[in-house]
Chain A
Amino acid sequence: MCLRTMIKTGKSCSPRPQKVFVYTAGVFLWISAFFILTMGTARATDIQITASVDQQELTLEDSVNFSIVVEGTRSAPPPQLPPLDSFKVRPRGSSSSFQIINGDRSSSITYNFSLLPKETGTFTIGPATVDIDGKKYRTAPITLIVKEPSAVPNTLREVFAEMVISNKKPYVQEQVTATLRIYHRVEIRNLKTDIQFQGFREEALKGPIQNTRIVNGIRYLSYEISTALFPLRPGKVEIPASIIELDEVDRTRNGGTSDRFDPFGQGSIFNNFGRLNHKTLRTKPITLDIQPLPQKNRPQHFSNLVGDFIISAQLSRTEVEVGDTTTLTVTVSGQGNVKDISLPSPQWGDDFKVYEDQSEYRQTTGARFVSGEKVYTYALVPLQPGRLQAPAILLNYFDSTKGDYVSIQTQALPLTVSPGTSDSKLKVVESGSDATGRSVNPVQKIGEDILPIHTGAEVFESQALTTGSGILYGIGLLLPVGLFLITSGIYKRQQRLKYDIAFSRSHGAYQRALKKLSALSPDSDPRGVAQELSLIVREYLGNILNLQGTAITSTEVEEKLRKGNFSAEEIQETREFLEKHETLQYAPTAGNPPEELIQNARSLLDHLEKKP
């Protein structure tokens, strides 16, 4: 309607708000009613729970879809699965449905799991339970038969995997390359691997890489993950079966054509459709016989370095003065367990003072080997002039291809040292040098242990905050605040008394008036007493109302009292008192006795001061 109006008139329009509100509310009510009714129906319906699998016979390479359907509700909690020790369980999500067929409503929720068998045999999947409104519902048990993968040779299969070990009889610390190869002739997706190496130090090699390999005349794509392993101890070590999970794309079921050598669907976008078959592949366990490093010819300084290495050294300056510094850089590089490169402490002699820097390590990981280099730097400060030599640096390692130890060393590097131009006899004592500047062997750590217990009785004071000490602490925190507030109050009052004249006058006016009343003698002349009383009350009123002088009339007093929030009764009483006493001062005869006059005055003051 609004659109029509716009077209006709060419003006913008807006729907009437009331109508929109009614319409929206109506729709909302209908939707709410629909949900309430359907939910009520679902609750009222009998709940049934069933479990099913998509296949009851499978091999170790397959997975089975295990579904638990709860009918009669769409909001059941997740089911409690029975013990499934022989399977790996993968939750696959849940789905709910609601149907109305011929007026009958039905709803259900389905929980899906993938079961991946770990071993062969016949297994009974016990009842799964669902707890709905305190009542437990159970599924019927299901039997599954898990067999070995079919006896088809690998070469006739679409997908298979193998673990290839470069050397099954390596020495301790010799690099072994373990390559997991996944051969496939169909597209694979969602690849997951579980590879375990125990008894080795591992270094991931470059990759994964994809190759084309011919196996028994059949062309396969090969997905290869390589790991460099360094055996830690001699003896038999088993590399357990690696588990590879993947989805095999089966295009034939959808009638699509596929290029077998377009495994990741990089061709036509239509090739991305197809059914996914989940597969679990296992490699065969492989046992390695790790050889110990021979004792024969084992050099004195050997740090379990195994592989193939070279060593080089150079000086930053070959001509220096006494006290100057030249840097000796020693580089060890090669293939093998490069992380374990360790140089024996060079024999520096008495010619140099040496400062060793932190070594630098750089590793290069290739597709098949781990290589790298370690760079040691030493700052050499010659202590005497002449033709000196930076000593040769020795490195021992085990060459696994030769099966023997190899010793290599750098050349001793000549260094010409001239006498210093200044008196720069260095006598700096550093760790690793004695007081004479000669280098000494650094202290080497031989063992490690925990430090001893603490025994001093004084250290065993409880650090806990008990209830009592907690209260005291709280008081301690609040006390300064309280003291400050009190001090601040007193100080402010003092300041006000000092600077606020009105406050100062009114403060103590009552006491001063009482004092004066007490000083009056009842035996005095009543007229004199009346005069005194009039003066005392006027003075009191002048103080509390901050009026100047005492020559104020009763009318003025009345006016001021009215502004000062005094009640009509008080004002009346004050006025009468003042008028009466003015009269009495000049009366020819004495009226009331002086005691009564004094008492009246006290009573008036009490009244004005709001004293009980």
Chain B
Amino acid sequence: MTARTLRFKVFIFWVGIILLPATIWGQVSTKVSPANPLYNQNQFREAAEIYERAIAGGVENGHLYYNLGNTYFRMGSLPKAILNYVKAQNLLPRNEDVEANLEYAVRQTADQLDGRKPHVLESVLFWVGDLNLSEHRMALFWINLAFWVAMAVRLRHQTPATQSARNILLAFLVLALVSTGFRWHQETRQSIGVILPQQIDVHSGWNATTVVLFQLHRGSLVSISQEKENWYAIELSSEKKGWTLKSNIAE
């Protein structure tokens, strides 16, 4: 391999890296664009199929989940609508449309229950919920870069100013690492479910013969904390806990 060939290959690699997001965006846009007119023509089932296909194809986009939530809402499937609004909110945490529609959909349910249990750390890391995981990763990337640049500058200029800058950036870097890790934990480990049947019994154990603690209705949002055979342990924000069959819950 000559030096010229090597340089050409490196050039192609970087061009590919730069153009990759644009290519993906183009593909996603093409996949989703036929669904929106269908929605506006009240052909909700067809629109939902297209949105679902895009999601099954690996597209992770808050606006897509939001549109799918709207479509299910129009189709009368409140649990699926709520579930997709929740997913949309994870990806678009500051989007007011998503928040308004989720709140409205929850208000249409019998229990009007948003049982998503806030984590204790959320009161300390209060900003975590305002950024999605992608934004957290980006913030971590830039803070990391800034920190190491500050470290490099400090090699030649060991002044109080560079020391302060390094310490501040180090603090930010630690916070960014913790925040990103926590957000990642929230999105991948914490499971949210929506009640599917009109009414379900929530038992004290993973057996139908155990005591019924309380009842929930279609569309209630719950936190899933544990799994046992074909049962889920669910928790509500009001500290109520219990077990119900997995088939009663959509995730």
Contacts and interface: CB of A to CB of B under 8 A. Distances in A.
Nearest to B69: A450
Given A484-B148, A484-B151, A460 B61 contact: yes
A465 B58 contact: no
B101 interface: yes
A134 interface: no
Contacts of B147: 480
A84 B209 contact: yes
Contact of B70 (A89, A453, A461, A477): A453
A81 B32 CA distance: 51
Contacts of A473: 137, 141
Contact of A468 (B20, B132, B156): B20
B73 interface: yes
A450 B101 contact: yes
Given A457-B33, A481-B148, A463 B101 contact: no
Nearest to A459: B63
Contact of B210 (A84, A91, A476): A91
B144 interface: yes
Given A448-B104, A451-B100, A480-B149, A461 B28 contact: yes
B237 interface: no
Interface in B140-175: 140-141, 144-145, 147-149, 151-152, 155-156
Contact of A454 (B63, B134, B152, B211): B63
Interface in A441-485: 448-455, 457-466, 468-469, 472-473, 476-477, 480-481, 483-484
B1 interface: no
A89 B151 CA distance: 68
A465 B209 contact: no
B100 A460 contact: no
A460 B97 contact: no
A122 interface: no
Contacts of A81: 209
What class of interface size applies to chain B in its complex with A?
Answer: 35 or more
A448 B104 CA distance: 8
A113 B209 CA distance: 10
B148 A480 contact: yes
A462 B61 contact: yes
Contact of B28 (A452, A460, A477, A491): A460
Nearest to A81: B209
Contacts of B113: none
A129 to B, nearest CB: 12
B231 interface: no
A364 interface: no
B80 to A, nearest CB: 14
B211 A450 contact: no
Contact of A488 (B134, B155, B209): B155
Contacts of B149: 480
A479 B221 CA distance: 42
Nearest to B204: A91
Contacts of A481: 148
A483 B59 contact: no
* Most chain B Cβ neighbours within 10 Å, of A448, A451, A487: A451
A491 B156 contact: yes
B227 interface: no
B243 interface: no
A461 B132 contact: no
A450 B104 contact: yes
Contacts of B59: 460, 462, 464
A90 interface: yes
Interface residues of A, number: 38
Given A457-B29, A460-B61, A452 B70 contact: yes
A78 B205 CA distance: 12
A461 B61 contact: yes
B211 A460 contact: no
B144 A480 contact: yes
* Most chain B Cβ neighbours within 10 Å, of A89, A463, A465: A463
B28 A462 contact: yes
A90 B211 CA distance: 6
A487 B39 CA distance: 57
B179 interface: no
Contacts of B223: none
B182 interface: no
Contacts of B156: 491
Contacts of A454: 63, 66-67, 97
Contact of A450 (B60, B70, B91): B70
Contact of B140 (A457, A466, A477): A477
Nearest to B205: A91
Contacts of A460: 25, 28-29, 32-33, 59, 61, 63-64
A271 B156 CA distance: 89
Q: Please list the 9 inter-chain residue pairs (A to B) with the smallest Cβ-Cβ separation, ordered nearest first.
A: A464-B60, A480-B148, A454-B63, A453-B67, A457-B29, A459-B63, A461-B25, A451-B97, A450-B101
13 contacts: A89-B209, A90-B211, A91-B210, A453-B70, A453-B71, A454-B97, A455-B36, A461-B24, A462-B61, A463-B60, A465-B133, A465-B134, A480-B149
Interface of B: 17, 20-21, 24-25, 28-29, 32-33, 36, 39-40, 58-64, 66-67, 70-71, 73, 91, 97, 100-101, 104-105, 132-134, 137, 140-141, 144-145, 147-149, 151-152, 155-156, 207, 209-211
Interface of A: 78, 81, 84, 89-91, 113, 448-455, 457-466, 468-469, 472-473, 476-477, 480-481, 483-484, 487-488, 491
Given A472-B17, A481-B148, 11 more contacts: A450-B100, A451-B97, A452-B70, A459-B61, A460-B63, A461-B28, A462-B58, A463-B132, A465-B133, A476-B145, A480-B149
